[in-house]
Amino acid sequence: MAEAKKNLMTYEGLQKLEAELEDLKTNKRKANSRDIAEAREQGDLSENAEYEAAKEEQRQIENRINEITKILKNAEIADDIVDKSIVNIGSTVTLLDLEYDEELTYKIVGSTEVNSLGGKISNESPVGAAILHHKAGETVTVETEAGSFKYKILSISHDE
């Protein structure tokens, strides 16, 4: 049997997932159980919209619990960076887009933590993969379906 893919993530990302899992198990499940019980008390379940909504929410809660459990089972923390002069998971990187002369700042995270609107990109994304293990001052080329882009790494920082 193939070994499960490791979920590389930051310690911060691990803590967030663990907190979400705890909240789902202790708070959301209990609240949902109350909602289901209240809906049952209303009688005929075949035409009870509140009951159907509560059961759908229960499915969503259980699916998310299963998803987080699988992620955590194969989680590997990537924050233990030995060489802080290179880009790694957990690094915050400021890049200069050489074509548009625009500065961009991203935090490199594992694929389960991605939040592009929050400036968090995956180490597996085209930009993330291209800049990994490079130093400030280096220029990297990012290959995408839309073409090639060049970025200069202006700075690298690490949350302490």
**Residue range 47-69, pLDDT digits in tens:** 788 899 999 999 999 999 999 99
**Residue range 68-102, pLDDT digits in tens:** 999 999 888 876 656 788 999 989 999 999 999 99
Which domain range does residue 139 map to?
91-158
Domain count, the chain: 2
Last residue of one domain, picked from the residues 77, 101, 135: 77
Q: What CATH number should be reported for the domain holding residue 148?
A: 3.10.50.30
Q: What CATH number should be reported for the domain holding residue 37?
A: 1.10.287.180
Least confident of 3-12, 91-100, 112-121, 143-152: 3-12
Is residue 33 included in any domain, yes or no?
Answer: yes
Is residue 58 located within the same domain as residue 96?
no
For residue 5, name the pLDDT band (cuts at 50, 70, 90).
confident
Q: Which residue has the tokens 């989680």?
A: 75
Distances (CA, A) of 62 to 26, 38, 67: 12, 20, 9
Least Cα distance to 155 among 103, 111, 112 occurs for: 103
Is residue 83 included in any domain, yes or no?
Answer: no
Is residue 13 located within the same domain as residue 67?
yes
pTM score, whole prediction: 0.73
